[in-house]
Structure 1
């Protein structure tokens, strides 16, 4: 199926969407570009480009792309940034000025170093001029800028920020932008969601990230955050043991649910709990319980097996029994790490106290 790339967004569009854009242009209709919810644009800027670009291999191993191989003065796009990607550009048309609209988040030092490397076509030592930007493709908060060389009119793709290769992603796919991963980490740290992030970026006149991009980066950063959290709790537990004069340590415990119970009904799908050391005031253990996984639930409804994913479903019992189970689980984990808890400071939860004394330590 032939695909087309939108000039305004830099993304591939289907043939049906191309026909709708043609209709907008013919009737001079103004429409909202889907990923620029903060601004209106005339339909004339919602054009598409469909002329294919062929890949050429240079002597130095770089991948260059030219629009018309039959002409000697054709514009060349040379970069390792787009190696292996299907690109449809039309550089003979008017230069795209959409990059002048709104604000961008860039790494100044990294961008200056890339500009100073010069043209990747003629290998000139003259730095590229950022005012010669021809096209911009956005990937969340990161962008690939296509800059025209002043000497040979060749096209060089320059990234605006650093990128990395995610461990679970394909080694031959696109690299992940650091700024998008940091955005997902900041979203988790501040306790907001995709809509709040989009509202914040739109207020700053920064083109926002899509929900899909943020969710991918959230899954990427989640595992690292969890590993660091466990490591931090282990160090705090050892420090608590060292500061305690007697052998068993004292810690406060409490749990909670995402849905409030009425006293008679407890139907929360998840719960969390933690131990806080008395001497250090730091978290020495934490635990979570989840009764629901969306992917597993969808697979069950379809009658098929779920694909490989980071499933968080780890509880099948009642929601009321979550707190007691998490307390016992953390006490056992602390015992395995040579941290014995002798006194628990908590509310008068008779179920948790009785189970802890029966399964972990009778003199607790």
Structure 2
């Protein structure tokens, strides 16, 4: 008796070979959401007719530029007809048409792109601009890969795999993060400069009240704590009684002129100060003395109510007087999906190289103080330190900064 073999499931397999089944016809339809008549088409691997199905996003200028001449024989233009298009290479929403040259001596197959190409992240790599735009739309409006494919199916556009859509989203997300970081840094410098200028102006007004005489042409005055020798050098004793604020009396009417302006030269008691184009060149911008940092509002929100949320986001905002703009955004993650899947399904193996988003190891409650401290340190490194913080009553950031 012949021994019976077992299959993969451990069952006894028959030694008789089953007759080869004939390949069945494939039933294809144009739309899956409208009842249409079925058309029987034989599947053939030698002829690529996928370009005849569905709709495409085509940029006419790019397509016509590629059809100007053949890349092999340099003759052209290449006619775009149904006979010489032999296939298509899809790349997301973009792709290449394989167009055969009609020159009998050539017959070269040209790959003509019907979308704009841009440089990719890797050296020498190119990608279609429409795919990057699709990744931006996923972040801004559309949502995840399932929603995108539902929209493409409704428009009768060939769908894209979920892994490819996630790559587009990550590629667009890195560019968006870079632009957002530059915008927040510029907004922080603008808010810091405006607030420091306002404080410096207030300090100047308070200092002006404590002085007696102001030289308007130079924009300077004698400080109260100045020595009598310096005060006598700048302002003679016979001109101290002159009120420069009075419009009726001008410095030209006094017998001894303290400041003279002749041919763009300033003279103080016979000493020449050199040429100048305008008086603004002498007005230097001095930093304020009472403050070294700006004031901003800080608050943190969690994705889930309670203190078991996996993510949180913290925002630093300037005052409404200085634009009410976002100066810094900090996002905290307690877990990473890729690391979690790898440890669960392939324990003991090193996790593959990826962009790990996990940047917090404590509980969700400590995210607020950790994010606030990180934002203050980053703002200080950018040259816009924070001195006053406005927040709600349940903020633990102040206690952490003091400790």
Question: Displacement, 1:209?
Answer: 2.0
Give the aligned partner of residue 310 of structure 1. Answer: 355
Instruction: Give 1:276's match in structure 2, choosing from 317, 331, 351.
Output: 317
Query: 1:222 aligned to 2:267?
Result: no
Q: How does 1:167-246 map to 2 (within 5 A)?
A: 167-168=121-122, 175-190=126-141, 192-244=143-195, 245-246=198-199
Give the aligned partner of residue 156 of structure 1. Answer: 110
Give the aligned partner of residue 397 of structure 2. Answer: 352
CA offsets per residue over residues 312-336 of structure 1, 9 Å max, x none?
A: 1111100111011101111122122
Partner SS, residue 213 of structure 1: helix
Give the distance between the partners of 2:304 and 2:72, measured in 1 at CA.
60
Q: Is the contact between residue 27 and residue 41 of structure 2 (CA under 8 Å) also seen in structure 1? A: no
Q: How does 1:1-364 map to 2 (within 5 A)?
A: 26-30=23-27, 45=41, 47-49=43-45, 90=46, 96-116=48-68, 118-131=69-82, 132-152=84-104, 153-168=107-122, 175-190=126-141, 192-244=143-195, 245-246=198-199, 247=291, 248-261=293-306, 266-278=307-319, 279-301=322-344, 302-356=347-401, 358-359=402-403
Gaps of 5+ in 1: 1-21, 50-89, 360-364
Give the distance between the partners of 2:335 and 2:40, measured in 1 at CA.
47
Question: Displacement, 1:175?
Answer: 3.8
C-alpha spacing 1:43/1:260, structure 2 compared with 1 (3 Å): farther
Question: Displacement, 1:163?
Answer: 2.8
Give the distance between the partners of 1:32 and 1:215, measured in 2 at CA.
28
Give the distance between the partners of 2:193 and 2:157, measured in 1 at CA.
49
C-alpha spacing 1:45/1:139, structure 2 compared with 1 (3 Å): farther
Give the distance between the partners of 2:314 and 2:87, measured in 1 at CA.
50
C-alpha spacing 1:235/1:299, structure 2 compared with 1 (3 Å): same
Give the distance between the partners of 2:385 and 2:170, measured in 1 at CA.
34
Give the distance between the partners of 1:41 and 1:142, measured in 2 at CA.
30
Count of equivalent residues: 282
Give the distance between the partners of 1:189 and 1:311, measured in 2 at CA.
22
Question: Displacement, 1:165?
Answer: 4.5
Query: What's the C-alpha RMSD, in Å, of the aligned pairs?
Result: 2.9
C-alpha spacing 1:342/1:176, structure 2 compared with 1 (3 Å): same
Give the distance between the partners of 1:191 and 1:271, measured in 2 at CA.
22
Partner SS, residue 47 of structure 1: coil
C-alpha spacing 1:187/1:37, structure 2 compared with 1 (3 Å): farther
CA offsets per residue over residues 23-79 of structure 1, 9 Å max, x none?
A: 7x844353689xx86688968547242xxxxxxxxxxxxxxxxxxxxxxxxxxxxxx
Give the distance between the partners of 1:194 and 1:333, measured in 2 at CA.
34
Question: Displacement, 1:275?
Answer: 0.7
Partner SS, residue 30 of structure 1: strand
Give TM-score scaled by structure 1 length: 0.69
